[in-house]
Amino acid sequence: LKRNLLYTAITRAENNLVLLGEPEAYVKALNTPGNDRKTDLTRKLCEKLQVKPLNKNNKQTEIKHEDYVLTQDLIYSGEIDPMIGMDNIRLEKN
């Protein structure tokens, strides 16, 4: 995956975008040149992933992320929204 392909995928999303996979793969894509354009994609994704972009002095990027197990408590507390892209639909607790 190269930066320009990731840019195209993200900018073509009209309403919602769900990125699946390991965050490390996205960092690698951001640091793999393609037909680069002058965009803020690298900066924006690095902010969201809480990483710093690689440069000549950095050999590896660490990604800060938390593992979550989807539970009813996390859903009902609002910490994790399982209804991605399903606006105006809410779960009711029995």
Give the tens place of pLDDT for each residue, 24-68: 888 888 787 766 666 777 777 777 777 766 655 545 555 566 666
Taking alpha carbons only, the member of 9, 41, 12 closest to residue 27 is: 41
Residue 60 has a CB neighbour count (10 Å cut-off) of 7
The encoded tokens of residue 34 equal: 């393609």
- pTM here is 0.38
Rounded alpha-carbon distances, angstroms, from residue 19 to 7, 13, 72, 90: 12, 11, 23, 22
Place 23 in a pLDDT band, splitting at 50, 70 and 90.
confident
What are the residue boundaries of the structural domains of the chain, listed by start?
A: 3-49
Residue 70 half-sphere exposure, CB side, CA atoms within 13 Å?
Answer: 5
